[in-house]
Structure 1
Amino acid sequence: MSPERQRIKAPVWSMMLFRSLFVITITGFAFAAYSLIRPLFGTFGFDLNTFLKSAGAVLALGMFVVWLIPMVDLHIGIFEHVIPGRRFKQGLCAGCGHPRTPDASEGFCSECGRRHEAPDGWRLEKRTVLNFVLWLMVGLFFGSAIGETRLTLDERRWTRECRMLEDMSSDSLGFRTRRRSWPSSYSELYYRTEQGPYAEPLITNERVGRNR
């Protein structure tokens, strides 16, 4: 690339910051979505088929965050276009911020050697869309995995609690139920002495049946 049009590059830390924020945002979204979707299937414990179906539903919901596409490369917009553009309007070098002098040799900055010209406007490029898809998939996977881990641990805790009560007095347990941990607290876990721990699909669970 010629020195006249050499690109102003965003600092590496800004790329790491904005992409980390993007992944954290998508991970939180996927965690909440997965935690609400998986109990609908009524499975208890980890089940690969249920995980794939739930994660697939979360992936489909990813279409609602397409408005976050600019966020994945926001560091480019800020540090390569917005800030340099403001510098240029203020009479400074767009690249380094050094004052532009009237006697600058052939229109180049005496500090960094960049030609004195306004930077291009920020446009949505193919690279940004590809980066969005890549980091979206990473965030959706992490969020779904964290959601599955939380649900599975909650189910294991429920099993331990009920079996502890059963060991103390098997006659006193019979049937027991409680809500899942947040954010899945709209659904319930069950335990029967003769059946052990289990869950039910939302449409057929016993609480819904009692409310009809």
Structure 2
Amino acid sequence: MNEAAPTPPPPSAGRLVPARAPPTILWAYRALFVMVMGAYFTIAYESLRAVQGSFGFTIGQVARAIPPALALGIFLVPLVLLVELPEMVLLRGIPNRRRRRGLCPGCGYPRALDDHACPECESDGFVRPAIRPTLATLRRFGAMLLLALLLGAAVGETLMQLDEARFRSEVRARPPIVLLGGTPSPDDLIFQRRRQWPGSFSWLWGTRNGQFFATSPAIDAPR
């Protein structure tokens, strides 16, 4: 005896479409999020390195600048509310707006109010509840914050080393100064200029014979 073909099950109640935000949008947003915070940490790191009043690169100088830069990350904590912004827009904001216009929240297909399921995507018309920060959100924000700190420190240190390299070239490229008596100036004649922004409160000093150091208002002694 032939058995009747099984009837396909009806759409499950509470099915939400789309179920998740597109990964491409998520990762692009998170990369942009890290770069924005990284720009903040770049400014903070360069300022803290300039406060040290040091010239050149050592691991100790970097190690002294990173902890206070991380402490300044406290001002970025309110941004934790924006970590889930793509989900808020794509999974709640846009579907909610479609529903108010009489469209399917999941795909935008026109549907009647008494329809139990969208004929296009089988969504039942429910809009997901408000997305609130969770422990996973805090962990994700913490990971992005640390990544932004490392990015900012790397970029900031690179910019500082490039600025110091330009200063060395500027000092060596200066023509010799002839005094009134016709005697060339000594090689230890000191040249100076401000660091690049945001460390422009610090001064770079150098001589033609290869002696370079820096000073800052916080630490007057050259290093």
CA–CA separation in structure 2 for the residues paired with 1:3 and 1:152: 61
Q: Which moved more, 1:62-71 or 1:184-193?
A: 184-193
Q: Which amino acid is 1:26 matched to?
A: M
- Aligned match for 2:141, one of 132, 153, 160: 132
- Aligned match for 2:186, one of 154, 163, 171: 171
**Secondary structure at 1:202 match in 2:** coil
Distance 1:35 1:102, change over 3 A: closer
- 1:180 correspondence with 2:195: yes
How far off is 1:77 after superposition? 0.5
How far off is 1:21 after superposition? 2.4
TM-score, normalized by length of structure 1?
0.85
Question: Over alpha carbons, which structure has the higher Rg?
Answer: 2
C-alpha contact 1:166 1:173 (8 A) present in aligned 2: no
Percent identity for Structure 1 against Structure 2: 31
**Secondary structure at 2:118 match in 1:** coil
- 1:196 correspondence with 2:205: no
CA–CA separation in structure 2 for the residues paired with 1:102 and 1:192: 81
Q: Which amino acid is 1:136 matched to?
A: L
How far off is 1:91 after superposition? 2.1
Deviations 1:112-163 (A, max 9, x none): 1122223212211222211111111111211111111111111122123223
Distance 1:204 1:24, change over 3 A: closer
- 1:79 correspondence with 2:90: yes
1:210 corresponds to which residue? Answer: none
C-alpha contact 1:18 1:71 (8 A) present in aligned 2: no
CA–CA separation in structure 1 for the residues paired with 2:77 and 2:219: 34
Deviations 1:32-62 (A, max 9, x none): 1111110111221111111122121111111
1:61 corresponds to which residue? Answer: 72
RMSD: 2.5
2:127 corresponds to which residue? Answer: 118
- 1:39 correspondence with 2:50: yes
CA–CA separation in structure 1 for the residues paired with 2:79 and 2:56: 33
Distance 1:126 1:6, change over 3 A: farther
Aligned positions, number: 204
1:151 corresponds to which residue? Answer: 160
Q: Which amino acid is 2:168 matched to?
A: T
C-alpha contact 2:171 2:207 (8 A) present in aligned 1: no
Structure 2 unaligned blocks of 5 or more: 1-10, 178-183
**Secondary structure at 2:204 match in 1:** strand
1:97 corresponds to which residue? Answer: 108
TM-score, normalized by length of structure 2?
0.81
More helix by share: 1
How far off is 1:195 after superposition? 7.0
**Secondary structure at 1:185 match in 2:** coil
Distance 1:103 1:42, change over 3 A: closer
